[in-house]
Amino acid sequence: MKKTFDAVAWMRKRREEIDKEDQGLSWVEKHEKTRKLLEKDPLWLSLRKRLVEPTSVPGVKTKGHNQKVTVTERHPD
């Protein structure tokens, strides 16, 4: 079967375009740009308040292991 769409090549090209668009922006400016793009996206709006089980380390019981957490925004640190 002949491949009609190369997703990896497309993604690499798109990342290069985004890097050029964002050249010179600080992390805060990039974060704000992304937030503005997502605030009107219907898929993001439906997923942004989903509950996610906390990750665990094998052999280590984590505090609040049975609690669910809400994923909101992440900080670069």
Is residue 69 pLDDT above 80, yes or no? no
The pTM is what? 0.50
Q: What is the pLDDT of residue 11?
A: 97
HEC states along 22-62? CCCCCHHHHHHHHHHHHCCCHHHHHHCCCEECCCCECCECC
Q: Give the pLDDT of residue 54.
A: 74
Report the pLDDT value the prediction gives residue 53, as an integer from 0 to 100: 78
Residues composing the chain: 77
2-6, 47-51, 73-77: range with highest mean pLDDT: 2-6
pLDDT in tens, 23-61: 999 999 999 999 999 998 999 888 888 887 777 766 666
